[in-house]
Structure 1
């Protein structure tokens, strides 16, 4: 039995979408970060948490990797150059998009008000746009961000693009916008957003 904890408005959307893509049976508990039930599974109180066979797996990327490897779907085989490319792209998206968006979120509403530096957001938007334009060049030659087949890297990239839109970050790159529209048409994506 698989149980996913976390609201779809958080990074929990990533494994939620993957679970739908894989058509796995699972329970979903849309709890907010720091919920009491969540702290029993992850002392940091962060989401998402996946409980698989009584074991808690934390961090959206770790959950994605676990599920994709377990099912041998939406991932390149470990030990291959395709897997190295997939992992490199996913790490680039996490470092250059997710981290920038997370920094902006922390300075918008997560940190205590006296610790926030709202002025940093202009710099973060500039950095995000520059990084996105560089990453999106991958879409010139391939259907998906890490190659011709959809992988978990696409889930992370798509989630970051959606997060950027909500956070009012620049998303002028036409290839990235077309990609986002196409990814949002996937039936599994729509099942996940409907939860």
Structure 2
């Protein structure tokens, strides 16, 4: 099938986010597990992603890498799932804003903190996130205005940003603020999120790896 969705992933990677996105899209897809190490550096896989990393999505002749880009692609490729506002919808702007806030400032701030790197005060204007505290304050405001980032409508922006919040709290990189906990509990209870987690946890169990904590 020329339009087949093929999902290259590892069950202990950011591919878990894409798995959830695929389950939300409602489309059939085929999973190809790529093991860490030589398999990710093999010429065949690097032809798909020269970075030698998962996740990767192949859809017919289109290859998409980078988790946020894959989420955005799926939302646009399958509009019947209503995972993104239409182009003419004024909420499209806020949707993009929060999707890329998560992919930019949130990802950078949390990753730097996890690595023990603190941007010197005199250099903060040079980086997109400034400080982790500033990012978390903005994030708290965004998730406190309604059930979802766009009010009462769930979108891929919630899926991607919420995943950053959930994983960040799980591993102690994001403060467990009440607003974050309420937001993540709401998202994690979605049927597609539960299905995705069950699939990846089962794959990890097959490998004798510990599943993600509750």
TM range (shorter): 0.7 to 0.9
Deviation at 1:119, TM superposition (A): 5.5
Deviation at 1:50, TM superposition (A): 0.3
Q: Is the 8 A contact 1:20 1:191 kept in 2?
A: yes
Q: Residue 181 of structure 1 is aligned with which of 162, 178, 185? A: 185
* Runs (5+) with no aligned partner, structure 2: 122-129, 200-214
Render the CA deviation track for 1:62-111: whole Å, top value 9, x for unaligned. 21111111111210112432111100111222222112223345x3xxxx
Deviation at 1:169, TM superposition (A): 1.7
Q: Residue 136 of structure 1 is aligned with which of 119, 137, 140? A: 140
User: Where does residue 78 of structure 2 map in the other structure?
Assistant: 71
Q: Is the 8 A contact 1:2 1:52 kept in 2?
A: yes
Return the index of the structure with the highest Cα Rg. Answer: 2
In the aligned structure 2, how far is the partner of 1:103 from the partner of 1:143?
29
Q: Residue 20 of structure 1 is aligned with which of 4, 7, 23? A: 23
Matches within 5 A, 1:11-160: 11-32=14-35, 34-36=40-42, 37-72=44-79, 73-104=82-113, 107=115, 118=116, 120=118, 127-160=131-164
In the aligned structure 1, how far is the partner of 2:142 from the partner of 2:113?
25
* Runs (5+) with no aligned partner, structure 1: 108-117
Change (3 A) 1:59 1:119: closer
Render the CA deviation track for 1:123-170: whole Å, top value 9, x for unaligned. 9xx933442232221233321023321011111111101221243124
Report the number of matched residues: 181
State the TM-score, normalized to the length of structure 2. Answer: 0.75
Computed over aligned residues only, the root mean square deviation of the Cα atoms, in angstroms, reads: 2.3
Change (3 A) 1:32 1:131: farther
